[in-house]
């Protein structure tokens, strides 16, 4: 059984007349009849009842028709994908994103890219920056949105956005209604952080903020992620510093308060291999620029 036989079967089933079906397929009537006959022999049952004025599907042929159409559709999609790959095009992108980036402008960038490239499916993987960079280098990912700096010289890592940290405090806390909070005020209360081995860039930015103010950061408890840190704050365990994007966690028992002085900031960088096609790289970069500009 081959695709030519299935195409003949579907065409004849839809037209119901051997002469017209053969004309549409650019075949002689005997050639079309032979292909149908050989398909029936391979299947072991008849597909058509031959009548004086044409052909009609048997019950088995009727049940098979839907599957045959699906087969031809998948074959056409595969053929188009093969041509696209030959042109250097992509029909699927593997993209990595850090947990923090996933709640920033990234969803807007994905929507913008999907609107511009509707034929490209996006598959997302979450991970830490060094894990994602490793996956990009080994071609398991096409892009990754990570937090610089990067120590890799085999990848292109370009900063595309930056956002400030804010304090997240329990709603009942004395500082919840403050216009801003400085490092000296924060040191008087239990401070929560994210483990350095999980988020070294975030950890170092926060410690640096206190150091510049001449204050030693006394972190009383560490969470495994910024999201779980917000949960600890909601439970009244302490105060934390998170990026502004986490304001999207709109719990009634927490408040986000700006930091005084020069707040620390977190960078976002687009990471990819140098050999990534220019049109793909520029397309995703444009989507990110659109998302950042819209915030």
232/148 same-domain check = no
pLDDT digits (tens, 9 = 90+) for 136-175: 999 899 999 999 999 889 999 999 999 999 999 999 999 9
pLDDT at residue 287 tops 80: yes
Same domain, 11 and 101: no
Residue 280 has pLDDT above 90, yes or no: no
Q: What is the pLDDT of residue 32?
A: 92
How much is the pLDDT for 121? 82
**Domain end: 86, 107, 140, which one?**
86
Q: Span 266-288, mean pLDDT?
A: 88
Asked if residue 239 and residue 206 are part of one domain, the reply reads yes
Q: Are residues 226 and 97 in the same domain?
A: no
What pLDDT sits at residue 85?
60
Q: What is the pTM of this model?
A: 0.66
pLDDT bin (cut points 50, 70, 90) of residue 245 is very high
Residues 142 and 279 in one domain: yes
| Domain housing 17 | 3-86
Q: How far is CA 193 from the centre of its chain?
A: 28
Same domain, 156 and 208: no
Say which CATH number the domain at 25 has: 1.10.10.10
Number of independent structural domains in the chain: 3
CATH number at residue 175: 3.40.190.10
Q: What is the predicted pLDDT for the residue at 89?
A: 53
Are 180 and 261 in a shared domain?
A: yes
Among residues 52, 86, 120, the one where a domain terminates is 86
Residue length, the chain? 295
Q: Which region among 100-109, 164-173, 186-195, 280-289 has the lowest average model confidence (pLDDT)?
A: 280-289
The verdict on 80 and 97 lying in the same domain is no
Final residue in a domain of this structure, among 45, 67, 86: 86
- One domain, residues 67 and 204: no
What does pLDDT average to over the chain? 90
Across 41-50, 112-121, 207-216, least confident range: 112-121
Cα–Cα distance list, 104 to 96, 258, 291 (Å):
14, 17, 10
Whether residue 80 is predicted with pLDDT greater than 80 in this model: the reply is: no
Could you report the per-residue pLDDT of 15-73, keeping only the tens digit for each?
A: 999 999 999 999 999 999 999 999 999 999 999 998 877 899 999 999 999 999 999 98
Asked whether residue 260 falls in the same domain as residue 272, the answer is no
In this model, does residue 247 exceed pLDDT 80? yes
Residues 156 and 119 placed together within one structural domain of the fold: yes
On whether both 23 and 82 belong to a single domain, the answer is: yes
- For residue 87, what pLDDT band results from cuts at 50, 70 and 90? low
3-state secondary structure of 128: coil
In the prediction, which pLDDT does 265 show? 95
């Amino acid at each position: 059984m081959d695709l030519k036989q299935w195409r003949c079967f579907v065409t004849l089933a839809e037209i119901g007349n051997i002469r017209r079906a053969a004309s549409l397929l650019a075949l002689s009537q005997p050639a079309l009849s032979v292909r149908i006959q050989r398909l029936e022999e391979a299947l072991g049952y008849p597909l058509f009842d031959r009548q004086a004025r044409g052909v009609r599907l048997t019950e088995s042929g009727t049940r098979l028709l839907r599957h045959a159409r699906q087969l031809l559709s998948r074959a056409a999609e595969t053929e188009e994908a093969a041509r696209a790959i030959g042109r250097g095009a992509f029909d699927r992108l593997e993209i990595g994103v850090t947990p923090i980036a996933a709640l920033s402008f990234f969803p807007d960038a994905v929507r913008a890219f999907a609107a511009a490239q509707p034929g490209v499916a996006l598959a997302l993987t979450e991970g830490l920056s060094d894990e994602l960079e490793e996956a990009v280098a080994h071609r398991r990912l096409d892009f990754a949105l990570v937090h610089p700096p990067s120590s890799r010289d085999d990848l292109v890592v370009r900063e595309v956005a930056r956002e400030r940290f804010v304090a997240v405090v329990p709603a009942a806390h004395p500082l919840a209604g403050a216009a801003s909070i400085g490092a000296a005020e924060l040191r008087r209360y239990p401070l929560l952080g994210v483990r350095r081995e999980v988020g070294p860039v975030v950890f170092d930015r926060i410690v640096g903020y206190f150091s510049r103010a001449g204050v030693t950061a006394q972190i009383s408890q560490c969470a495994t992620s910024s999201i779980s840190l917000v949960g600890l704050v909601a439970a009244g365990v302490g105060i934390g510093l998170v990026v502004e994007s986490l304001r999207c966690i709109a719990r009634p028992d927490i408040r986000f308060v700006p930091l005084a002085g020069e707040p620390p900031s977190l960078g976002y960088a687009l990471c990819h291999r140098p050999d990534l096609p220019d049109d793909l790289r520029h397309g995703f970069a444009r989507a990110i620029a659109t998302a950042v500009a819209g915030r």
